[in-house]
Amino acid sequence: MSVTTNTIALDIRRLSRVIPRNRNIELALLAFAFGINAYELAQIQLSTIQIYNADILTYWLPITLGALAIHLVLRWRASEADALMLPAVVLLNGLGIAEIYRLDLARLANHSTDLFAGKQIVWSCVAMAAAIAVIVFVPTHLFLRRYVYISMFIGLALLISPMLPVIGKTINGAHLWLAIGSLTFQPGELAKIALTVFFAGYLVTRRDSLAVVGRRFLGVQLPRARELGPILAIWAISLLVLVGERDLGTSLLYFGLFLVMIYVATGRPIYVVVGLGLFLTSAVVAARLMTYVSGRVDAWLNPFDSAHYDAIGGSYQLVQGIFGLAHGSVLGSGLGGGVPQLVPLAESDFIIASLGEELGLVGMFAILAIYLLIIARGARIAFQHSDDFSKLLAIGLSFVIALQSFIVIGGVTRVVPLTGLTTPFLAAGGSSLLANWIIVGLLLRISNTSGTHVEVEE
Amino acid sequence: MNRELKRVVYVIVAMFVALFISSSTIQVITADSLASDPRNVRAVYDSYKTQRGAILVAGNPIAESVHSDDNFHYARTYSSEIYSAVTGFFSFFQGATGMESSMNSYLTGKSSSQFFEQVNALLSGNPLTGASVELTIDPKVQQVAWDALGKLQGAVVAIDPSTGKILAMVSKPGYDANALATHDGTSSAAAYAKLLADKNSPLVNKAISGTLYAPGSVFKIVVASAAFESGQYTPDSTLPNPPKYKLPGTNTWITNSGEGKCGGQPTVSIATALMLSCNIPFAQLGVLLGQDAIRAQAQKYGFGRSVDIPLHSTPSTYPTGMDDSQTALSSFGQFDDRVTPLQIAMISATVANAGVEMKPNLVSNVQSANLASLWSPQPEQYANPISAQTASWLKQMMINAVAHGVSSNGAIPGVTVAGKTGTAQNGTSAPYTLWFTGFAPAEKPRVAVAVVIENGGGIGQAGRGNSLAAPVARKVMEAVLGK
């Protein structure tokens, strides 16, 4: 089946159908999300400053208009795109802005002028514009396949750039930032998209040779030695990230992404086994040799130990975050009712602890459920596509959101050691918002063809 | 490829299940222990966001939160030092004690029975208002008990025997809780340090906790209970009555207190021995009964158990693993017997209430901000340590102790008072611990009381339970009876 038949079928459908059903569902769900977002802001104002003012509009209207713009663009360019993803993401983005605004109010009460909600609004608009650009300018799901190797170079360049002198910047001990003037940027966030595109394109072309059965050893079919090249290369890069950027989470994110994609492409679990073995070995060695890794691991295992709690860069932040979550209990203190500002970086790395404190376990489950919904819709796109490149791209992009959420939230709730990744869509930070909205744009774009395709096959 | 995709989805689901479990663990399972971590200041911050409920006595606040213009929104104020043992204090800097701590979840509005108010506050964004706690304390009796102790150090507990309601609870010296509740951190810390350093332990509620006291002769009620409950003794059972007694297995001789004749006959009945508070017959009785029987009886009364009234009391203790000489000493309240005034008052109340021990309780009603009653504890049987027959015998012996014996200063004209004094030694040269416990009117008891006076009442080894503690108890009982 060729691309042209697909496109023609799509055009016929678009003409023959006056009302795009998906888009109407999306609009209804968006209205719901807008309502929730407004309610959050109103509740925050009532419980902190006890009056309503125009700030509600400032923090509500931009992403509402942005989401409506995306909705209209989808009607125009991708009317069969997934209907649930956009409202779910808008819900998270709005919740993040509300909590960041709430933390700003706490800062204002302390006479601090270091505020984040305004920047978050601006970045949300930029990110949504980027998502629109993706939907408009990426004409089909196969378009990106032309840029596989360019993606590789872009991805690697972005990944390595923070290690460069002059523009590289160290924040909280991790070399994850680029600084140009007063603007800081985490290029690793965008690198994950470029690398996913590259992995998808590379693995689609090499999957047959990668899947060839090698020698059997102890009942296990080993891959051929030369096919281990790519996995070793990616392992080396993730090690470089670990050592050069001093961040276990970023390193784990790329490596985990690659393992999942090579497994999906080849169907050979041995790659996962070998890869995890390599990664764990290097992590254990790093924990021995590099104090910042061992410090993180110790703080993770015994955070309440006063030795770790009082140490500089120790478990103070983790423990305060856990206190916040515990204080939230089942129902939470209500938005604006807790004291999440006690936790360092409450608006970025620890926003999930802030939300867990104020929304309780109920809110925590709801947030996790929204993430699962977004990821499930992404996985569904992968299932429905018959084209392997799109399948790999969709599962890769979905998995990157899943793994990143897991590493961050798991770090805050002590499932894994704490690392410096951002919580997708929620945390304050432009690069993260931009990257994740681009992922949403890509998934929406891919989903537009997947739905159609199923019907064409019938 | 879809088979692999499915497996990846399983992995993703597993990762999220891990997050569901980890957040549930933190937010529900370990939430309480995390909240009590001293490094977690949230509970304290929290308590200042809500208008904390008042603690009331007869409708008047003895602790309440009033609006203040600083960052704390509310200031906690206390009406009088006489209630300091009951209310404890609530301080941003020093934490909380007493009812402020025990009833904290109600006072802050965070108890489970205030769930719907919490939901309401959550949805509306309005701050939660705490519930008020009405106490069983009778302000008149409390004031009399406070005044009667005067400059003496010690404690008074008065209980209604038939309901377990605590009518008065005083511990001296008291302290000014306002000095600790102040929002000025420096002055709060200074006041706290001063109270902590005070050798008279004003911060300790001596009625229910602290280092506890040797009971002295008031413990004879427990030994007599054990004797009667064994079925082998009645008040008329006699014991040898030598003028001095060598502790078994030692060369130590003990005597009765005072002139020490205990009636002057070769034998003496248990009734007379209790009336005259003779040590030698009780030492022999204790050895005959054995430490296990005495300990079992003490435990039936509540020794070894803490009771939440809802202030958390320290368990009274009766020693274990004693030899006969130690058992003999323990039988008149010496050696390592240690009791709270609350436990002694409970014993008297049990005798007064025909052998049924009611659970002591300080809370009469908890009322939410919208006037709904959240908790009003009903009288509750705590234990049944002695039979009605035993109670009746003990009552008559205690009536005689006041009317004809060595507990005479507990007497109230026109009222039958049952009572028992105690004068406990604390080593060879240290001042005595002085006791009185009893109840009135004996026919239909309305109050059971325990009074302890520390440090010999300030007059070294010259003080006696009958001379210093009994008059205090008498005034407290008179106050209850409206005399």
Q: In a 10 Å sphere around its CB, with 0-12 CB exposed, 13-18 middle and 19+ buried, how is residue B443 labelled?
A: exposed
What confidence tens digit (pLDDT) does each residue in B356-375 have? 999 999 999 999 888 888 89
Lowest mean pLDDT among A25-39, A286-300, A332-346, B441-455: A286-300
Residue in chain B closest to A363 (alpha carbons) equals: B23
Domain that holds residue A192: 3-457
Quick one: CA torsion of B296, B301, B305, B311, rounded to 10 degrees?
Answer: -170
Residue B42 sits at the chain A interface (C-beta within 8 Å):
yes
Give the tokens for residue B366: 């908890």
Sorting pLDDT into bands at 50, 70 and 90, what band is A183?
low
State which CATH number among 3.40.1010.10, 2.60.40.1890, 3.40.710.10, 3.40.50.720 fits the domain covering B216-365+375-481. 3.40.710.10
- Nearest CA distance, A120 vs chain B (angstrom): 24
Lowest mean pLDDT among A49-63, B73-87, B174-188, B254-268: B254-268
What confidence tens digit (pLDDT) does each residue in A411-445 have? 999 999 888 888 999 999 889 999 999 999 999 99
Residues of A in contact with B7 (CB under 8 A): 263
Extents of the domains making up chain B: 216-365+375-481
Backbone angles phi, psi at A221, to 5 degrees: -85, 115
Instruction: Please report, rounded to a whole number, the percentage of residues in chain B having pLDDT higher than 90.
Output: 60
Residue A249 sits at the chain B interface (C-beta within 8 Å):
no
Q: DSSP code of B385?
A: -
Tell me if B5 and A323 make a contact (CB, 8 A cut-off).
Answer: no
Return left, alpha or beta for A181; rule: phi > 0 is left, psi -120 to 50 is alpha, else beta.
left
Residues 126-145 of chain B with CB under 8 A from chain A are: 126-127
What confidence tens digit (pLDDT) does each residue in B425-435 have? 887 788 889 99
Tell me if B15 and A403 make a contact (CB, 8 A cut-off).
Answer: yes
Return left, alpha or beta for B359; rule: phi > 0 is left, psi -120 to 50 is alpha, else beta.
beta
Residues of A in contact with B50 (CB under 8 A): none
**B129 against B276, higher pLDDT:** B276
| Residue B101 bears catalytic tag | no
Question: What is the rounded CA–CA span in Å between residue B409 and residue B396?
Answer: 17
Segment B331-343 mean pLDDT: 92
Residue in chain B closest to A381 (alpha carbons) equals: B5
Residue in chain A closest to B8 (alpha carbons) equals: A260
- pLDDT reading at A227 higher than 80: no
Q: Are strands B55-57 and B132-135 parallel, antiparallel or unpaired?
A: parallel
Per the CB < 8 A criterion, the answer to whether B22 and A374 are in contact is: no
Residue in chain B closest to A409 (alpha carbons) equals: B19
Lowest mean pLDDT among A3-7, A330-334, A335-339, B99-103: A3-7
Sorting pLDDT into bands at 50, 70 and 90, what band is B480?
very high
- pLDDT reading at A100 higher than 80: yes
Residues 80-119 of chain B with CB under 8 A from chain A are: 118-119
Quick one: CA torsion of A372, A377, A378, A380, rounded to 10 degrees?
Answer: 120
Tell me if B125 and A361 make a contact (CB, 8 A cut-off).
Answer: no
Q: DSSP code of B482?
A: T
Give the tokens for residue A419: 């690392």
Segment A128-144 mean pLDDT: 89
Give the per-residue pLDDT at B189: 87
Residue B11 sits at the chain A interface (C-beta within 8 Å):
yes
Per the CB < 8 A criterion, the answer to whether B130 and B107 are in contact is: yes
Of A324, A376, A402, the CB nearest to B15: A402
The number of C-alpha atoms within 13 Å of B210 and in the hemisphere containing its C-beta is 24
What is the count of structural domains for chain A? 1
Quote the ipTM score: 0.90
- pLDDT reading at A220 higher than 70: no
Catalytic-labelled residue, pool B47, B217, B269, B330: B217
Three-state secondary structure readout of chain A: CCHHHHHHHHHHHHHHCCCCHHHHHHHHHHHHHHHHHHHHHHHHHHHHCCCCCCHHHHHHHHHHHHHHHHHHHHHHHCCCCCCCHHHHHHHHHHHHHHHHHHHHHHHHHCCCCCCCHHHHHHHHHHHHHHHHHHHHHCCCCCHHHHHHHHHHHHHHHHHHHHHCCCCEEEECCEEEEEEECCEEECHHHHHHHHHHHHHHHHHHHHHHHHHCCCCEECCEECCCHHHHHHHHHHHHHHHHHHHHHCCHHHHHHHHHHHHHHHHHHHCCHHHHHHHHHHHHHHHHHHHHHCHHHHHHHHHHHCCCCHHHHHCCCCCHHHHHHHHHHHHHCCCCCCCCCCCHHHCCCCCCCCHHHHHHHHHHHHHHHHHHHHHHHHHHHHHHHHHHCCCHHHHHHHHHHHHHHHHHHHHHHHHHCCCCCCCCCCCCCCCCCHHHHHHHHHHHHHHHHHHHHHHHHHHHHC
Handedness of CA B440, B445, B447, B451 (dihedral sign): positive
